[in-house]
Structure 1
Amino acid sequence: MTESELPEADGETQVAEQLDRDDRLKPEFVRAVLDAVEAGDTEGARALVEPLHPADVADLFELTPREDRAGLAHAVADLLDGDVFAEMNDYVREDLIDALTASEVADLASELDTDDAVAIIEDMDEDEQRAVLRALDPDDRAAIEEALSYPEESAGRLMQRELIAVPEHWTVGDAIDYLRGHEELTTDFWEIFVVDPAHRPVGTCQLSWILRTPRGIAMADVMKREQTLIPVDMDQEEVALRFQKYALISAAVVDGGGRLVGMVTVDDIVHIIQEEAGQDALLLSGAGEGDINEPIRESYVARVRWLIANLFTALLASSIIAAFEGTIARMVALATLMPIVAGVGGNAGTQTMAVTVRALATNQLTQSNTMRAIGREMRVAVLNGLTIAVIIGVGVALVFGNVQLGGVIAAAMLTNIVIAGLAGVLVPLTLERFGADPAVASSVFVTMTTDSMGFLAFLGLATAWGLGS
Structure 2
Amino acid sequence: MDSVLDEHMPVRDEEGDFRSEFLHAVEAALEAEDIAEVRALTGDLHEGDLADLLELLKPEERDQLITQLGHEFNPAALSELDESVRDQLLATLPAEVVADALQQLDTDDAVYLLEDLAEEDRNAILDQLPRLDQLTLKKSLEYPEDSAGRIMRTEVISVPPFWSVGQTIDFMRESEDLPERFEEIFVVDPAFHLIGSVALNRLLRSKRHVNIEDITDHELRPIQADSDQEDVAREFERYNLSSAPVVDPDNRLIGVITADDVVEVVQEEAEEDILRLAGVAPSTGISNSVWGTTRQRFAWLLVNLVTAILASFVISMFDATIQQMVALAVLMPIVASMGGNAGTQTMTVAVRALATRDLGRVNALRVIGRETAVGLLNGLLFAVLMGLVAYVWFGRTDLGLIIAMAMVVNLVVAALAGILVPLGLNELGVDPAITSGVFVTTVTDVVGFFAFLGLAALWLL
| TM score, norm. by length of structure 1 | 0.92
Shift of 1:151: 0.8
How is 1:250-329 mapped onto 2 (pairs within 5 angstroms)?
A: 250-288=243-281, 289-329=283-323
2:258 and 2:97 map into 1 onto residues whose CA distance is: 27
How many residues in Structure 1 have an aligned counterpart in Structure 2? 452
1:426 and 1:410 map into 2 onto residues whose CA distance is: 24
1:176 and 1:17 map into 2 onto residues whose CA distance is: 41
Please say if residues 34 and 72 of structure 1, whose CA atoms lie closer than 8 Å, have aligned partners that are also in contact: no
- Given candidates 309, 333, 344, the residue that maps to 1:350 is 344
- Given candidates 317, 324, 327, the residue that maps to 1:330 is 324
Report the 3-state secondary structure (helix = DSSP H, G, I; strand = E; otherwise coil) of the residue aligned with 2:415: helix
2:9 and 2:372 map into 1 onto residues whose CA distance is: 52
- Given candidates 78, 89, 114, the residue that maps to 2:71 is 78
1:456 alignment partner AA: F
Report the 3-state secondary structure (helix = DSSP H, G, I; strand = E; otherwise coil) of the residue aligned with 2:267: helix
Residue matched to 1:176: 169
Residue matched to 1:400: 394
Shift of 1:19: 6.2
Shift of 1:398: 3.5
Residues 118-174 of structure 1: CA deviation (Å, up to 9, x unaligned): 111122211121222222111111110100111111111111100112223334333
1:427 and 1:56 map into 2 onto residues whose CA distance is: 42
Shift of 1:99: 2.3
1:427 and 1:461 map into 2 onto residues whose CA distance is: 26
How is 1:63-142 mapped onto 2 (pairs within 5 angstroms)?
A: 63-142=56-135
Please say if residues 158 and 268 of structure 1, whose CA atoms lie closer than 8 Å, have aligned partners that are also in contact: yes
Please say if residues 118 and 148 of structure 1, whose CA atoms lie closer than 8 Å, have aligned partners that are also in contact: yes
How is 1:188-267 mapped onto 2 (pairs within 5 angstroms)?
A: 188-267=181-260
1:279 and 1:337 map into 2 onto residues whose CA distance is: 36
Report the 3-state secondary structure (helix = DSSP H, G, I; strand = E; otherwise coil) of the residue aligned with 2:185: strand
Please say if residues 11 and 22 of structure 2, whose CA atoms lie closer than 8 Å, have aligned partners that are also in contact: no
Shift of 1:443: 0.7
2:385 and 2:8 map into 1 onto residues whose CA distance is: 53
1:77 and 1:71 map into 2 onto residues whose CA distance is: 10
2:35 and 2:127 map into 1 onto residues whose CA distance is: 33
Taking a change above 3 Å as real, the CA distance of residues 214 and 59 of structure 1, as seen in their structure-2 partners, is same
Q: Percent identity?
A: 46
Shift of 1:399: 3.3
Please say if residues 63 and 93 of structure 2, whose CA atoms lie closer than 8 Å, have aligned partners that are also in contact: no
Taking a change above 3 Å as real, the CA distance of residues 207 and 65 of structure 1, as seen in their structure-2 partners, is same
1:411 equivalent in alignment to 2:405: yes
Between 1:439-448 and 1:74-83, the stretch displaced more is: 74-83
1:67 alignment partner AA: E
Please say if residues 121 and 129 of structure 1, whose CA atoms lie closer than 8 Å, have aligned partners that are also in contact: yes
Please say if residues 287 and 299 of structure 1, whose CA atoms lie closer than 8 Å, have aligned partners that are also in contact: no
- Given candidates 35, 50, 64, the residue that maps to 1:42 is 35
How is 1:7-46 mapped onto 2 (pairs within 5 angstroms)?
A: 20-23=10-13, 25-46=18-39
2:84 and 2:393 map into 1 onto residues whose CA distance is: 55
1:60 alignment partner AA: L
Structure holding more helix per residue? 1
Residue matched to 2:3: none
RMSD over aligned Cα atoms: 1.9
Shift of 1:309: 1.0
Moved over 4 A (4+): 16-19
Residues 205-248 of structure 1: CA deviation (Å, up to 9, x unaligned): 22122223333443333333222211101111221121122221
Shift of 1:92: 1.8
Taking a change above 3 Å as real, the CA distance of residues 90 and 18 of structure 1, as seen in their structure-2 partners, is farther
2:86 and 2:76 map into 1 onto residues whose CA distance is: 12
Residue matched to 2:44: 51
2:178 alignment partner AA: L
How is 1:353-372 mapped onto 2 (pairs within 5 angstroms)?
A: 353-372=347-366
- Given candidates 378, 403, 419, the residue that maps to 1:425 is 419
Residue matched to 2:458: 464
Residues 411-434 of structure 1: CA deviation (Å, up to 9, x unaligned): 111111111111111111222222
1:148 alignment partner AA: L
Between 1:193-202 and 1:226-235, the stretch displaced more is: 193-202
Report the 3-state secondary structure (helix = DSSP H, G, I; strand = E; otherwise coil) of the residue aligned with 1:70: helix
Q: Which runs of 5+ in 1 are unaligned?
A: 1-15
Shift of 1:86: 1.7
Shift of 1:460: 0.7
2:373 and 2:164 map into 1 onto residues whose CA distance is: 60
Shift of 1:390: 2.1
1:354 alignment partner AA: T
Shift of 1:54: 1.9
Residue matched to 1:61: 54
1:142 and 1:342 map into 2 onto residues whose CA distance is: 58
